[in-house]
Amino acid sequence: MQTVPDDSPYQASSQSAALEADSGQPQPDPAPAPPRRYGGVGLWVRDLVVAAAASVLIVVFLYQPVRVEGTSMLPQLVDSDRLFINKFVYRISSIERGDVVVFHYPRDPEKSYIKRVIALPGDRLRIDQGVVWLNGKPQTEAYVPEEYRDSRSMAEMVIPEDSFFMMGDHRSISSDSREFGPVERSLIYGKAVFVYWPTRDAGVVR
């Protein structure tokens, strides 16, 4: 910082300017500050970095894009559909019947499956000629079209604590809990929420 002695010409001119201002005489407008040459580019780069960081945080902690392989979730999900799964939602809410979830395949945790939650811990479940019975009541499953139903049966069982019974909507071809049993909660890592590609299939997963 530059210091100016009291007896310098700068000091005198400053006093003169102050006197002129007090006299009521109009003063010329101060010269505009020179434009910042790189301000616009700097703001653009900053916004880009913030947006990229926010996108990474969203993907890492909230949403993850995945691709469907297979047809066991027809007609809701088609082979090669791209969708987002919410990886955070089950930390603040419970898994519900009817949710479409992604989980590590119990027999090979390196693989991931996507199925619908049919029964919760403690539910009594049996399947009679393709009809799912929960706690003594037959279920009306609107998400399973008639042409995708099968006639398989399964003896009644009680879903173990902290486990969930999963089934695909295309019942006649789905490999699900009817084969590998209920899925432990620790293996479930996301809820399917939105198909984004291809655009013809785009929409909320129900």
pLDDT at 101 over 80: yes
pLDDT tens-digit readout, 142-158: 999 999 999 999 999 99
* pLDDT confidence band for 42 (50 / 70 / 90): confident
55 catalytic, yes or no? no
The answer to whether 100 and 114 are in contact (CB under 8 A) is yes
Superfamily in which the 69-198 domain is placed by CATH: Umud Fragment, subunit A (2.10.109.10)
Q: Is 46 helix (H, G, I), strand (E, B) or coil?
A: helix
| Residue extents of the structural domains in the chain | 69-198
CA dihedral defined by 105, 108, 111, 113, rounded to 10 degrees? Answer: -20
- What are the tokens at 4? 């100016």
- Average the pLDDT over 116-138 and give the result: 98
What mean pLDDT value characterizes the chain?
A: 84
pLDDT at 6 over 60: no
pLDDT at 122 over 70: yes
- Average the pLDDT over 61-88 and give the result: 94
pLDDT at 172 over 80: yes
Question: Of the residues 8, 72, 151, 177, which is catalytic?
Answer: 72
Question: Of the residues 14, 55, 115, 137, which is catalytic?
Answer: 115
* 31-40, 45-54, 188-197: segment of lowest average pLDDT: 31-40
> HSE on the CB side for 189, CA within 13 Å?
15
Label residues 112-125 b or e (16+ Cβ within 10 Å = b). bbbbbbbbbeebeb
* pLDDT confidence band for 168 (50 / 70 / 90): very high
111 catalytic, yes or no? no
